[in-house]
Structure 1
Amino acid sequence: MVLTSLLLTSGCSGQKNPGEKSASAEPSVVTASLSSVSRPLSENYACFNVNSLLVKSWSNPEFQQAVRQVNPKLLRIPGGTESNYWDWQKGGLVKNVREAMAGYPINFRNKDLKYDASKLEDLQGGIKETNTEPIFVLNLATSSLESQLEMLRTARNLGMSVKYIELGNEFYFDVSNYKRVFPTAADYAQTASEWIVAIKQEFPAAKIALVGVAPKPKDSIREQNWQKVFSIQLCIKQMPLRFISITDMA
C-alpha cells in the first residue's frame, strides 16, 4: 500500500451545499492534457506506509538498513487501518480493538493485540537512524483530540519533526464501524475542521492531510460521494483544501 499526498487548491467559489443525499453517485470526469512545461516533483510527494505491527524492533540494524535501501523520505506511522485503533502510549492497539472493529471485514491477528514495540521512543530512534521524517496518522476513531495533541507534543519533545499529519485512514469505506464514527463525509469534514483548528494553534507550520478517495465505478455510494461532499463542507466552513491523502492499493 502506497500513500500519495496531493497538494490541491480548493475550488470553493460558486459551490452550493447539495447535502449527502443529493450528491451524485457518478464519478467525476476530469479531462487532462500534457503541458510543454515540466517541473520536478518534491521528494516528499509520496511516502512509504509502515504497518507498525510488523516492525518487531525499530532499533534492529537489519531493519534500519532495509529501510535505508529503499531510500524513503517520509514514513507514514503507525500505518493505515491500525492507526484508527492505535494507542500511542502503549505503542500498539487499543484494548477494546475487537469491539471497536465490529463490522469491519478484516480483524487483527491475536498476536497483534499484544504488540507494544512502537512507542514514540521506539519510533524516534528508527526515524533518526533511517534519516526519514514521519507522517503522523492520527486516531479519530477510538481516541480523542486531546490525547492526539498530547501525542504530537510528546513526539516534538522527543525531537521528532511534527510537520506532516493525516486525519485518520480510509473512513470512506462503507463499513459499519466507520459509519458509526462518521455517518457521512460531512460529519468527517466537521470533525476534521475542528481538529485542524486545534492542531494549528500548537503546530502552525504543520501540513495536515485529509482522507480522500479516487473511487472506481463499482465502489459504494459512500465512496462515490465522499470527495464531493466533504470538499463542499470544508468550503462552507472556509477551510482551504490544500492537502489530501489518496491511498492507492497497488
Structure 2
Amino acid sequence: MVAKKAMNDISFETGRWLFPANAQFDEHAGTLTLTGQKGQYHRATIKIPVDRTQREVFFSGDLYLEDIVLGDKLWDAPKLRIADGSGKSLKACNLRNSLENQWHIDSCSVDQFHTLGLDELTLEIGFQNSEGRFSVRLPAFSYQRPEASPYVFPYPVPEDTSVTLTLSSEAVVAFENDLLSSNSHFSWADYSWSDAVVRDAIKTHFPMTNMRFPGGTVGNYYDHRTDGYHDDPSTFQSPSREKAFLAGWRFGYPGYQSLVKEQNATATLMFNVMHDDVTATENRLKKRLNDQLPIKWIELGNENYFPAQAYGYSSNGPNNPDVNQYIKHTQSLTQAIRKIAPDIKIAANINHLSYDVGSWSETLSRETYYDATIMHNYISVWNSDLTLSSGKTLIDAYKKTRHNIAEYRETFGNTPVLISEWGVQEAPESFLSVLAYADVFMALLEGNIHDGVVQQAGSTCSTIAIAIRRNR
C-alpha cells in the first residue's frame, strides 16, 4: 500500500513522465510547457497503479495557457486525459474554454471508476492540432475532488444588486410545444417506456406534445421486428449492446405507442437507414400506421457521418461514412415513405458542428428531397468538477447555441431544423449548470420565434430521469 501511494505521486520530479520532443521543462520552477502546432499531437504521459475499488479518480494541475488558437474539431485543443494502461481513453477534458494568461487549477475526472476493473492508468497532458503555449505545474492524482481556483473578478462586484425589467405584451407569439420534446430511449436504465414509473413521470411532471423513438445512437441498431437490437457485427461493436441483445432487452415500443396516444401527442420516429432497405422501411412504416401512431416526423438515421455510426446501406463500408451513399439510400427511402404517407415530414441528419466541419453538410445542403435537417446541439463540458474552465463553458451556453444556429443558417438558409438531441454534457452538479440548460432552451426558442427554423427540440434523458427520481 505504501508503494502504491508513492507511485501515485505524479510530480514531474519523479522522473517517470515521458515528455514529447518539443517539451520544455523548467526544473527550477517545476513547470512543463508544450508548444502547440497545427497537424501535430504533442503529449506528456505517465503510467500509475491505482486502487480499482475507488468510485472516482481525479487528475489535476496548475495550468497556464497563452495565445491559444484552437482547431476546428472538439478535440483539437490542449487537454488533460485519463486512459487505461493500454492508452485507451476513458476521459479527455479538452480545454477549449480555459482562462488564458493566468495560473489556475483545473482537473479531469472519471466517475464510476470502480466498475471498470482497472489497476493501471495512463495520464496525459496533451496539445492536439492547436497553436499556442500550454504550461502545467504541480500535477496531481487523487481519489478526492481537488480544490478549484478562487476567481477574482477584474471589476468591483457590488454587494447589493437590483435589476428592473420592462415587459411589453404588445406582440403575442404562439409557443411551439414541440420544443419540449425529449430524447429518451432508456437503454441505460432499469425501466422503459412500458413501465409505470416512466409513464407517471411524463404525465405528472413532463407532459409532451411530441416524443422521439427509438432515439440516439441505439436507433441505428434497432430492429423494428423484435423491438430489440439487431444481431450483427455492427451492433456488437458496443459490448453493452451485445450484452443487451443476449439478455433479450427491449426498447418498449408498445408502451411508447400507447403513451403517445394517451397524451394526444405526435411521434418523431428515427428510422434505421443502416440496416433497413426500402422493403423493410415500408414494412416498418405500415406497421406503425396500422398501430394508428400519429407520425409527424421521420428522421433518416442518427449521426451517420460518424465512423462509429456508419454501416450498411448508408455508408461506404463498415465505419466508413459516405455522404453520397447516405443521400442515395435515403432518397430511395424518402420516395417509398411519401408513396405510403405523403403528409409525414422527412428529416436528414447533418454533420455535428465539431466533427468533420462542413464536408457532409455542404453536400447535403444542395439536395431538396428532405423537409428538414437534424442537428444535435450539445454544450460539451466533459468535466464534473466546477472549475474556471467548466464554468466558462456553462456561461457560454447561450452564445454557443445561438452561434450554432447562425452557422447552420449560413449553409441551409431557412430550411427547418429538428434539434432532436440537446443538452449540457457531463456538467458539474451546480446552479450554474441549471442556468446553462435554461440558456440553451432560450436560444432554441429564439431559433423558433426569431429565426423561424427550429421546429422541434428534444432534451436528453436527464429531464425525464429527474422526474422519475422524484416519483421514486
TM over 0.5: yes
Q: Does 1:210 align with 2:345?
A: no
Q: Deviations over 1:27-54 (max 9, x none)?
A: 9xxxxxxxxx884452224621121534
* Partner in structure 1 of residue 184 of structure 2: 50
Q: Which of 200, 225, 228 does residue 89 from structure 1 map onto?
A: 225
- The answer as to whether partners of 1:67 and 1:130 remain within 8 angstroms in 2 is no
Secondary structure (helix, strand or coil) at the match of 2:211 reads strand
Q: Which of 201, 204, 212 does residue 66 from structure 1 map onto?
A: 201
- Give the residue type in structure 1 aligned to 2:269: F
Given the superposition, is the C-alpha separation of residues 193 and 159 from structure 1 closer, same or farther in structure 2, using an over 3 Å criterion?
same
Q: Does 1:231 align with 2:365?
A: yes
Secondary structure (helix, strand or coil) at the match of 2:225 reads coil
Offset, 1:119: 5.4
- The answer as to whether partners of 1:51 and 1:77 remain within 8 angstroms in 2 is yes
Q: Give me the TM-score of the superposition, normalised by structure 1.
A: 0.70
Offset, 1:196: 1.0
Alpha-carbon distance in 2 for matches of 1:82, 1:198:
24
Q: Which of 313, 323, 326 does residue 188 from structure 1 map onto?
A: 326
Alpha-carbon distance in 1 for matches of 2:289, 2:305:
30
Alpha-carbon distance in 2 for matches of 1:62, 1:176:
31
Alpha-carbon distance in 2 for matches of 1:66, 1:176:
31
Given the superposition, is the C-alpha separation of residues 174 and 61 from structure 1 closer, same or farther in structure 2, using an over 3 Å criterion?
closer
Q: Which of 56, 77, 99 does residue 213 from structure 2 map onto?
A: 77
Listed as ranges, the gaps of 5+ residues in structure 1 are 1-24, 28-36
Q: Deviations over 1:202-221 (max 9, x none)?
A: 010001111023513xx3x3
- The answer as to whether partners of 1:139 and 1:168 remain within 8 angstroms in 2 is yes
- Give the residue type in structure 2 aligned to 1:112: A
- The answer as to whether partners of 1:64 and 1:129 remain within 8 angstroms in 2 is no
Alpha-carbon distance in 1 for matches of 2:180, 2:375:
10
Alpha-carbon distance in 1 for matches of 2:281, 2:186:
17
Q: Which of 278, 287, 306 does residue 145 from structure 1 map onto?
A: 278
Given the superposition, is the C-alpha separation of residues 153 and 95 from structure 1 closer, same or farther in structure 2, using an over 3 Å criterion?
same
Offset, 1:194: 1.4
Alpha-carbon distance in 1 for matches of 2:261, 2:190:
16
Given the superposition, is the C-alpha separation of residues 175 and 214 from structure 1 closer, same or farther in structure 2, using an over 3 Å criterion?
closer
Alpha-carbon distance in 2 for matches of 1:40, 1:115:
44
Secondary structure (helix, strand or coil) at the match of 1:163 reads strand
Secondary structure (helix, strand or coil) at the match of 2:365 reads helix
Q: Does 1:124 align with 2:257?
A: yes
- The answer as to whether partners of 1:74 and 1:133 remain within 8 angstroms in 2 is yes
Larger radius of gyration: 2
Q: Which of 153, 159, 164 does residue 297 from structure 2 map onto?
A: 164
Secondary structure (helix, strand or coil) at the match of 1:210 reads strand
- Give the residue type in structure 2 aligned to 1:108: S
Aligned length: 204
* Partner in structure 1 of residue 64 of structure 2: none
Q: Deviations over 1:35-89 (max 9, x none)?
A: xx88445222462112153473434322111122122221110111111111112
Q: Which of 237, 241, 244 does residue 112 from structure 1 map onto?
A: 244
- Relative contact order (alpha carbons < 8 A, sep ≥ 6): 1 or 2 greater? 1
Secondary structure (helix, strand or coil) at the match of 2:215 reads coil
Alpha-carbon distance in 1 for matches of 2:277, 2:343:
22
* Partner in structure 1 of residue 401 of structure 2: none
Given the superposition, is the C-alpha separation of residues 207 and 83 from structure 1 closer, same or farther in structure 2, using an over 3 Å criterion?
same
Q: Deviations over 1:120-162 (max 9, x none)?
A: 4333223234443221100111222211221111111111112
Alpha-carbon distance in 1 for matches of 2:72, 2:192:
45
Alpha-carbon distance in 2 for matches of 1:80, 1:159:
24
Question: Over the residues paired in the alignment, what is the CA RMSD in angstroms?
Answer: 2.9
Going by fraction, where is strand more abundant, 1 or 2?
Answer: 2
- The answer as to whether partners of 2:346 and 2:370 remain within 8 angstroms in 1 is no
Q: Does 1:248 align with 2:377?
A: yes
Alpha-carbon distance in 2 for matches of 1:51, 1:100:
19
Q: Percent identity at matched positions?
A: 21
Given the superposition, is the C-alpha separation of residues 156 and 164 from structure 1 closer, same or farther in structure 2, using an over 3 Å criterion?
same
* Partner in structure 2 of residue 19 of structure 1: none
Moved more, 161-170 or 143-152: 143-152
